[in-house]
Amino acid sequence: MQQKMCSILRPLTLLMLITIIIISIWTPVSQPAITERWFSLPNLFFFLPVPLLVLGSSWKLLATKHTSSHSTPFLAALLLVFMGFSGLGISIWPNIIPPFISYEEAASPPQSLGFMLVGALFIIPIILVYTYWSYYVFRGKITHEQGYH
């Protein structure tokens, strides 16, 4: 499975980069407020790490194609996706639906948010422990002799 993923790593990474580039061009062109947010000073210097980290994580992802490392490509892909969504978040902030509905207007009443917070405080640690446990149990590679592939 790792060999199969290594063989499609380059086209999928390039497809992801093309998608990020299209969205990065389309959003400032479609909304002048987004252009102002990204390209005005001093915002330009504050937000410059986002595209640089996208390029860096893409380069790292493509550079790990022929290595035996398992965690480096995963972490580079994770950073690439996170930076893509961070750039989108920076572009549309504080609006959920640009340029009309802000996150404050879209929020639920305080009572609902409080109820969800209490529920999240109980369920998120359970999800994290279960996820850690499942990764721990299924760690390592399987061979053809072991089956289930």
pLDDT tens per residue across span 76-104: 999 999 998 899 888 888 787 767 788 88
Confidence label for 1 from pLDDT (cuts 50, 70 and 90) = confident
pLDDT band (50, 70, 90) for residue 106: confident
**Alpha helix segments (H runs only) across the chain:** 2-30, 32-39, 43-47, 49-63, 71-92, 103-106, 110-137
pLDDT band at 58 (very low <50, low <70, confident <90, very high): very high
Distance CA 28, CA 39 (A): 9
Is residue 65 helix, strand or coil?
A: coil
pLDDT tens profile 8-52:
888 999 999 999 999 889 988 888 888 888 898 898 899 999 999
d(CA 143, CA 17): 33
Reply yes or no on whether the pLDDT at 149 is more than 60.
no
Structure tokens at 51: 């595209």
Residue 91 structure tokens: 């572009």
Q: pTM to 2 decimals?
A: 0.66
Dmax (CA) of the chain: 60
Integer Cα distance of 13 and 17 in angstroms: 6
Q: Provide the mean pLDDT of the chain.
A: 87
